[in-house]
Structure 1
């Protein structure tokens, strides 16, 4: 589906300085998680900002200071290398107090009663904005967007969620200066992407905030059709403004070719991504791996390498997932920690097959599924059968299929992937890459940014990638 933004004529807004003739339009991009934050959302944010810069915009990104991300998943400075140098980045000193690990900074209340301290923090945050953990950031985010706008008047505000408290700053700028805005919801707020259905009622504090902010949005981006359909049904008046903008993959993250598997030496299966699913899911996969190794000689000589972030703050690599991985070391399971973005293509290039472990169901796609599909490698799916990742992989010639999380069926998938790793032809691998090519991140984001550009300039919404090539509008 393709949704067009309202025409420029509908956006003649009082109380906001229009760009001078010949001047570049200015977009403020509220992007909490922008590089070098080591977050999966950073890839999407970077490409969005780059596409605006390539389309002729002045771009000001508002995010957090590096020290804030060091408390969470950490930093990946190789992500920053791909940020367009014309982009201005404003870094706020906001940080999650609950992720502080230096006990010398703890208050007496936190030291003596840590659980009560957390509960009190959450109550305070919810009084400011109906989002636990981040609600207390509202005043500083509002000040930041107003300050940036007053210094360099914005023609558009682009806001990406989560955190959803970004919506408060978006609304404040709209109230005071009528700056039009686009909401990149990604996973959505009122949709429960894990359990399905609504996460909260329309008449709840969060529901009232969501409804009023979305009512004035020029466009609402979602990462897949099930989430987009949820919002079309929840807010019928938004139907023509809800647009699917999938995550996609960066072409420099996948190798141009794959090495030949060596059955005599055994194969290497790989997982790359944040480990944010349940320990039970990981246990099912590791159980299946053990079963497959016992039953198939090729797998008996193979290894399973897990790479990614596990936990944040004090729980970083200190949780139930790590206990399971350590216990599986005797079955040739290795945990190597996170990978810098610059190292991702090399990892895919040395692996023989991939294991896609994902939480949720039809509302969840994940960002990594696109890289997996484009890698030219066999893919084992370890997720629910009714999952949006299966939509992306359907028709992929090296996919073993969605079989659910039963260890017996997953063990069979490991065996199929091992056979494919050894027997796949160059034509099959090329077909696998071709299957994924429509999901490049540029192909997904450039048309959406072109539509947003049309809000201000009135130009036809034909996307142009950062390399200057034309990309037709619409969802691939």
Structure 2
């Protein structure tokens, strides 16, 4: 260690609203990052969402995932004003009950200062962090978005303490990933906030090169401080073999099992998936095949009804499978139990929304399972850069159901013919994307900013990977 850290660990403040037991899509990157830093000798404090919000506003959590967070990580949960999410008048505070119009005015005034509903949490993070910093100073701040109140909090904390900060764009703040266009009008205050945050940041991290490039072009003054840290998969949550054994369909006559694992959202081409699978089942080899959908339907309460309908199922009658289409909704799977779902899958369906800037964290896990993967997404998304070279990838490069169906038929045949050697080759491709490997450059950068001694052996591992 340098003299700045002699006798103590480097200390990191990690602003991550979605952290276990949250089940938001970005929570796995946050969990892995915090665990990795602790494993590398850091003292880590995480600022996360209040549990009340996760249970009442979001409506679902994954307690088993929370058990995988390293015990050495200290988690703080600053207050969030749930004004916009509260619908039950019986739970309104006295001020809101007595003066609802004024209460709304005050809330909207805060939105003018920082245009995001999570702003109160960001300011609460700064207040809590200042108290902790006074007792034991932080050396670096890492903020991940969304929500992007975490970025504003990192900026303000830096202004007050001069502690360097890094922003991690696991999502885009100002780019609509699904429409492939700016998410706000040119005169919206969010642009000023993003420029302010990026100018003050020591580094800006992105999950793929497409997103990094878009931001570097829009903010050229900070382009040399940007870097890519892709998502990855978590070996501690997914038990895969070394490729010497392989699960195959139970005999040549057994029905093939296609599976989608992940949250189903409104941005995904669900109808195209269902139609393509219906067409694929017209082929003799897939006539009795099933499509299992494992995961939550949406992120918030009430979103399941519409998404079940899009899968061709009827929520009103409690229908969870359709013999005619072969679609079966299997329900949520705890992250710690996901290996069992992969074990009963012959072909994996990569269903993704959005355009060229979308990677999706799920694809890394899919590859690690060593199974055939069928793409169901728009052509040219960033995930194809990761899948390129995976030997069991079947990509129609189209959202035309007929073409996707042909990919499904080919993937089904590959599943029947899959050998241990072929699976081993696929698993080796995925091995380069373990969290431990992809996070090495980020940890090294944080260590440099914190003024701590470098871990040269870790950087050598990243280069060799």
TM-score, structure 1 length as denominator? 0.86
Determine whether 1:329 maps to 2:329.
Answer: no
Deviations 1:356-398 (A, max 9, x none): 1101121000000111112111111000111111111112111
Q: Tell me the CA shift for residue 204 of structure 1.
A: 3.6
State the match for 1:285 in structure 2: 273
Supply the distance in 2 between the matched residues of 1:100 and 1:167 (Cα, whole angstroms): 25
State the match for 1:393 in structure 2: 387
Supply the distance in 1 between the matched residues of 2:18 and 2:384 (Cα, whole angstroms): 27
State the match for 1:28 in structure 2: 13
Secondary structure at 2:76 match in 1: strand
State the match for 1:381 in structure 2: 375
State the match for 1:359 in structure 2: 353
Alpha-carbon contact 1:101-1:314 (below 8 Å) kept = no
2:200 to 216, 220, 224: 216
Deviations 1:277-318 (A, max 9, x none): 436x1111101111111x212322111110112124431423
Aligned-pair Cα RMSD in Å: 2.9
Deviations 1:209-264 (A, max 9, x none): 11111112111110000011112212222222111000111123253254121331
State the match for 1:82 in structure 2: 68
Supply the distance in 1 between the matched residues of 2:414 and 2:313 (Cα, whole angstroms): 28
The verdict on how the C-alpha distance between 1:340 and 1:389 changes in structure 2, with shifts beyond 3 A counting, is same
Alpha-carbon contact 2:155-2:201 (below 8 Å) kept = no
State the match for 2:36 in structure 1: 51
Supply the distance in 2 between the matched residues of 1:95 and 1:407 (Cα, whole angstroms): 45
Determine whether 1:418 maps to 2:402.
Answer: no
State the match for 2:240 in structure 1: 255
The verdict on how the C-alpha distance between 1:209 and 1:474 changes in structure 2, with shifts beyond 3 A counting, is farther
1:77-476 pair list within 5 angstroms: 77-94=63-80, 96-100=82-86, 104-105=90-91, 123-124=108-109, 126-131=111-116, 133-200=117-184, 204-252=188-236, 253-256=238-241, 257-262=245-250, 263-278=252-267, 281-293=269-281, 295-322=282-309, 324-326=311-313, 329-330=322-323, 331-460=325-454, 462=456, 464=458, 472-473=461-462
Alpha-carbon contact 1:384-1:403 (below 8 Å) kept = yes
Supply the distance in 1 between the matched residues of 2:87 and 2:240 (Cα, whole angstroms): 38
Alpha-carbon contact 1:124-1:136 (below 8 Å) kept = no
Secondary structure at 1:168 match in 2: helix
Supply the distance in 2 between the matched residues of 1:278 and 1:348 (Cα, whole angstroms): 24
* Count of matched residue pairs: 449
The verdict on how the C-alpha distance between 1:97 and 1:306 changes in structure 2, with shifts beyond 3 A counting, is farther
Secondary structure at 2:395 match in 1: strand
Secondary structure at 2:350 match in 1: strand
Q: Which moved more, 1:349-358 or 1:316-325?
A: 316-325
The verdict on how the C-alpha distance between 1:56 and 1:72 changes in structure 2, with shifts beyond 3 A counting, is same
Supply the distance in 1 between the matched residues of 2:457 and 2:333 (Cα, whole angstroms): 31
Deviations 1:33-74 (A, max 9, x none): 111111221111111112221222211111023232123152
Q: Tell me the CA shift for residue 104 of structure 1.
A: 4.1
In structure 1, runs of 5+ residues without a counterpart are: 1-7, 9-17, 465-469
Supply the distance in 2 between the matched residues of 1:100 and 1:108 (Cα, whole angstroms): 14
The verdict on how the C-alpha distance between 1:297 and 1:341 changes in structure 2, with shifts beyond 3 A counting, is same
Q: Tell me the CA shift for residue 437 of structure 1.
A: 1.1
Q: Which moved more, 1:421-430 or 1:137-146?
A: 137-146
Secondary structure at 1:38 match in 2: coil
Supply the distance in 2 between the matched residues of 1:122 and 1:277 (Cα, whole angstroms): 29
